[in-house]
Copies of this chain bind each other. A is one copy, B any other.
Amino acid sequence: MIDLCGLALEHPILNGSGTYDAIAARRAFGDALLDAFPFSAFVSKTITLEPRAGNPPPRLYETPAGLVNSIGLPNKGLRGYVEEDLPQLAALPVPLVTNVMGSTAAELVALVEALDDRDDVAAIELNVSCPNVRTGLDIGSDPDELAAVLRAVRPRTRRPLVVKLTPNTADVARTAQAAEDAGADAVSLINTLRAYAPHPRRPASPWLGAGAGGLSGPAVRAVALAQVRAVAARVAVPVVGMGGIQTGAHAAQFLSAGATAVAVGTESFRDPAAATRIRRELHDFLAKSGVSRSMAVHTPDS
């Protein structure tokens, strides 16, 4: 069992927010998904106060060993999520982490307050990679701004707060420190790296409907490991590490870097059950290479 700021997890592998739709996957794969659910907690995609349609297509661009996406956080909004999705997500065999985003402290406060009394919501993850309406930068890239937002949000919920840090900053350890000081119960990283995808046939025009996007996948793994190490060395709260994890060995690298748990994102696109394989590989890998007990995990039942 792993304790992630109060959540008791069967094993250390979560999904990255926005990279797995358990409701759609349940339709595509049936009960088999629930019988062998790959993640020890399910992280919802980012929910906003109002519904969002998301960005115009194309939204995907494949890069060397990576993916640039400009999905644009489509979601049903708080009300649609609570009424339509929450009941189905509550039926999953694992704790639910609801990921929320707001462009102002007021929006985030409204979101966490509305989720606070839903016992189905085991924890709340704040996505602070949202561009600040004023500066265009990620809210989470400025430690002071991040701390101010958190101080406003923290008192409004009893749920553990996980802050999903932005990697697009000069000193991620400093923003992590600011998050911890302002009451974050855990931090997660990395989110996607700001990236641009040119049109494959017309170099002068953008490929993505939204113009720019974010890079994920194996291409960012070495950057993610550097940031996770820097953050884990700085803060006392648990760290959820992610960015290009494809194998159990990669997961072990993030755990060794100081992460308490890891998340699988893009790799799930290549295989919906990738996280199950990664969990097994991690178990075997740790068994063989006798890495610190703290990282021991249970074998998948499958």
Q: How far is the CA of A204 from the CA of B68 in the complex (A)?
A: 30
Closest B residue by C-beta to A228: B196
| Contacts of A225-254 to chain B: CB distance below 8 A | 225-227, 229, 244, 249, 252-253
**Once bound together, how far apart are the Cα atoms of A184 and B198, in whole Å?**
28
Q: Which of A13-21, A120-128, A137-145, A270-278 contacts B (4 or more CB under 8 A)?
A: A137-145
**Which A59-81 residues sit within 8 Å CB-CB of chain B?**
61, 63-66, 68
Given A64-B65, A203-B249, A292-B204, A196:B222 Cβ within 8 A: yes
Q: Give the shortest distance, in Å, between A158 (CB) and chain B (any CB).
A: 32
Q: Is A212 an interface residue (CB 8 A)?
A: yes
**A195 interface residue per 8 A CB criterion:** yes
Residue in contact with A229 in the complex, picked from B137, B196, B202, CB distance below 8 Å: B196
B195–A212 contact, CB under 8 A? no
With beta carbons under 8 angstroms apart, the residue of B220, B222, B292 that contacts A68 is B222
> Do residues B65 and A198 form an inter-chain contact, with CB atoms below 8 A?
no
Interface residues on A, range: 35 or more
Whether A289 pairs with B195 at a CB distance below 8 angstroms is: no
Tell me if A5 counts as interface (CB < 8 A to partner B).
no
Chain B residue numbers with a CB within 8 Å of A66 are 64-65, 219, 222
For A221, the chain B residues whose CB sits under 8 A away are 63-64
Q: Which of these binds chain B: A39-47, A100-108, A167-175? A: A167-175
Chain B residues lying within 8 Å of A217, measured Cβ to Cβ, are 64
Show the binding face of A for B, using Cβ within 8 Å.
61, 63-66, 68, 135, 137-138, 141-142, 168-171, 193-198, 201-204, 212, 215, 217-223, 225-227, 229, 244, 249, 252-253, 255-257, 285, 289, 291-292
